Amino acid sequence: MRFETELTAEDGPNIDHLLRTVYPTEFEAHLVESLRTRRIMAAEHGLWDQGALVGYIAYSPVTIEGMETKRQILGVGPMAIHTDYQGTGLGRKLLEESLKEVDADALVLLGHTAFYEKVGFKPAATYGLTFSDDAEQNAAFMALECWQGALEGLKGRVEYDRRFYDE
């Protein structure tokens, strides 16, 4: 297995294939293509096995509605592990390695709380952050301070790039 922190334009087809294989719709593949094309990605990391991309994680900038900050807050996702490798601990390994490399003050994500809590994410509501008006979505909205106090004084609705909200 090879962990890669510098994905290039040439990796696009591999990323697209993995996302289309893992997710039930093409939303994530179209989202990543849009973010990559518009150069909005803050970071992308991949996990390769014998020349095949088997794990992928993306980071993009987010803002907090009505707040100005110099702190770098990134949204995590999408994250994908090839179906042949799911349940092996590879997702956690990819996430842990990726978190060591990403340059951010804090991270937020919408995801499986039990999985992300294992690496230190907490409910975003702990920090006064929300994702939407939907209680179910907010219950799955998580945050991680990359240094203690990184989210102090920042409260409100987190806003992702507009493509995250496309149907």
> What pTM was computed for the model?
0.94
State residue 136 phi and psi, 5-degree precision: -65, -45
Question: Residue 24 belongs to what domain range?
Answer: 2-165
How far is the C-alpha of 104 from the C-alpha of 99, rounded, in Å?
9
The CATH number given to whatever domain includes residue 137 is: 3.40.630.30
Total domains present in the chain: 1
pLDDT tens, residue by residue, 27-86? 999 999 999 999 999 999 999 999 999 999 999 999 999 898 999 999 999 999 999 999
